[in-house]
Chains A and B, each alone.
Chain A
């Protein structure tokens, strides 16, 4: 006997019509739900504004959606990936049954017969087993090991996984009963069903089979119908967002308006930012609906870790909860308004999010709305007023920028005309005595290596990075446009800066305003000079740990240059547990350096403790703000120095 798939075997004659009716109903519910989801997102718009070509989107979908590359990076994620793999296979199997039964058989042809049927049986059994085992393990994990972020998440997880488990178990049960009642000859391939069937033989009836079959079918159709309406909607929404949004946090924040265009039109009535859920863009909505509240963001967020009021997971959920019905509610009157200020825009959340959500963009969106109403706290207002009046966050005289030229013995931009390199010293480099030492060290190394450079004087003002992150987009663009004009006027070609914040903004954000600047970080240039053996060997095996600055590391992927520079100078590098992509923010990012965030412990303190635990005597920084934050928090047992200072042999 050639084994072949017997469809509707052992079932009453009324089964097929009823099943098809149910199937149609479930499909209708499912489709309606999908449409609802698409409408809530405004899918067409979301697709249009999403970055990258369709091919890139598909590649992301395959890698991160289907193959679960990021989700599977930890044990429970691996179980999730197994579950998904099982379901995808079962979906394939069901499709084959559909082809066999409803497309081929009316023409007298079969697909699921012979070897194909054997393979099908084996695959389906294995997939089913995968679902049951992975689902069960995941459920056990959730119940026993994991601390789901809150009760709501736990309930969703346990009911969904429980129902899935029931679905899998009934599937095997009914197969076992069927095989017990009527062997097919494909038993070797249906190993799990056959193994269960053996002890049942003679104890089960066709009635039981019918009952089991129907409970399984109703549950399965129920799943399909309910999928877009429940926590399972992430099965649709999350892969969609994965296709739409790149996985890494972006160095450039989104641009809510174009100041130059507004100035040309004379119309300034735009309301940037997220004051109500209705203000969310299609891309934001796709991201919100993709979130599964898994809480990975909370585990890495400097705000959540330091006891600040912000949790990226809650931020996303609060916004998501308002997408339906409460879209007009004034968000600025809710705790979100103050929580948004706790964000360091460090990108840590986005770097781990399996759904490719960027919660920090949402926090900035709320800040933008607050600032559009002139609602800045005293300290934020003071910083922004300093930018407005003096072009630097300190509110110090703009003319002081000229002073570095003498200190460094290098011409200013205006004096140099054209130079090979422009050293962009940034505001802290001018006004902060501590950071000025970094500038001196960097300039000394460059001079020693024979690099000709000019320094920025009063021709330029603040790059606007912090203003943008604090939500004052207009001030950012104003500063950026003026700076771009100045850089253009002096024909600047290449810029080097010791500040990752300036680096990121000049490189990635000025590009949004038409800037085409070739910017390198000082550690990149120093690493290159070290390679050419133009730098001294300043260290002798000191244990140094590098604190990756968010703007350089996570946001721009520069991890090796500072390490190579330190290594060539003779340092013995030790890595903190959180390094490179997972480095913890010092707490100064996102403009927070300039104001106060209420926390139970500063992130800088956590970071210093982490470094001390590694036995490092020196924390090397690559960012003036990390340097300041960690320097303030460091105990006397550990020194905090910029990479350039270490290379220059500064003690």
Chain B
């Protein structure tokens, strides 16, 4: 049986991931990629798609409502078995709206996607705050799947494929963008940080914070501290305290350096997706709260990590 999968993402690099995801769904998948401009179309054409649809509209495609309109037009033309969209915030909205318009089932935040033996689509997604993974079967034609970015490696560059034009009537814009402000790295607050390097009592002095900051810089992370470091020793300001009396953070990556793992710290970081602990005390409770733990001296491990990441 031949499956057609349509892919769409705002960002070209995500579309390339989605093409890879679509290709991995089964042995005979016909991958159609939507491109918003010529440059993207060229990339997707060599990125593993079988057909690239270059969107032609009377105005720029912006925002999830437009994305849903474009996708609806493409679905009408192609009748795909599945639509893959990137699970970014705009992608999720576009996916949900498309699904509602088509009367289709939809899953967002998917970690993996594949065709099942019975014809439906099988996905895995995190649920219950990230601590669990659900496997779901979606049936319908099409099904709409929003795939988590960075889950699939783009395919190796191949032969160019056919590029067609898809004419879309976008209709009036309901939500107008007035201005766009880039979220600056420096002003990012710790609660919104994607990565955090936190230090605790294992640090010997405030001058050693530089070592921590170096690693944080490499990981594009914020530096945070546990209560002893912020309140008692005051090596870090109180607004970067993680824990019961400080911030509750939910970064994707949390690196706890020299933190023993007292409960009041744990409650502030337990929502982190991946936790790394570096502590020389093998009995420190933090090791039980970590995905990966290194029983070792942070004064040796941190510089080693920083050096590796600089390469």
Contact = CB atoms under 8 A, between A and B. Distances in A.
Which DSSP category, helix, strand, loop or mixed, fits chain B's interface? helix
Contact of B238 (A396, A434, A593, A598): A598
A606 to B, nearest CB: 11
A382 B263 contact: no
Nearest to B201: A632
A585 to B, nearest CB: 15
A432 interface: yes
Contacts of A434: 262-263
B231 A602 contact: yes
Interface stretch (B27-35, B48-56, B160-168, B239-247): B239-247
B231 A593 contact: no
B263 A632 contact: no
A433 interface: yes
A54 to B, nearest CB: 46
A395 B248 CA distance: 13
Interface string A569-589: 000000000000000000000
A382 B248 contact: yes
A97 interface: no
A595 interface: yes
Contacts of B264: 432, 628
B245 A595 contact: yes
Given A596-B245, A598-B238, A395 B232 contact: no
B250 interface: no
Consensus secondary structure, chain A interface: helix
**What band does the interface of chain B fall in when counting residues whose beta carbon is under 8 Å from A?**
10 to 19
A602 B231 CA distance: 7
A202 B259 CA distance: 89
Nearest to B238: A596
Contact of B227 (A379, A432, A632): A632
Contacts of A594: 244-245
Interface residues of A, number: 21
Contacts of A628: 262, 264
A432 B263 contact: yes
A553 to B, nearest CB: 23
Contacts of A383: 244
A628 B245 CA distance: 13
A379 B245 CA distance: 6
Contacts of B244: 379, 382-383, 394, 594
Most B CB atoms within 10 A — which of A383, A432, A596, A633? Answer: A596
Interface of B: 227-228, 231-232, 238, 241, 244-246, 248, 261-264, 267, 285
Interface of A: 379, 382-383, 394-396, 431-434, 593-596, 598, 602, 604-605, 628, 632-633
Q: Which 6 A-B pairs have the closest CB atoms?
A: A633-B232, A432-B263, A632-B228, A433-B285, A596-B245, A632-B232
21 contacts: A382-B244, A383-B244, A394-B267, A395-B267, A431-B263, A432-B262, A432-B263, A432-B264, A433-B263, A593-B245, A594-B244, A594-B245, A596-B231, A596-B241, A602-B231, A602-B232, A604-B232, A605-B232, A632-B228, A632-B232, A633-B232
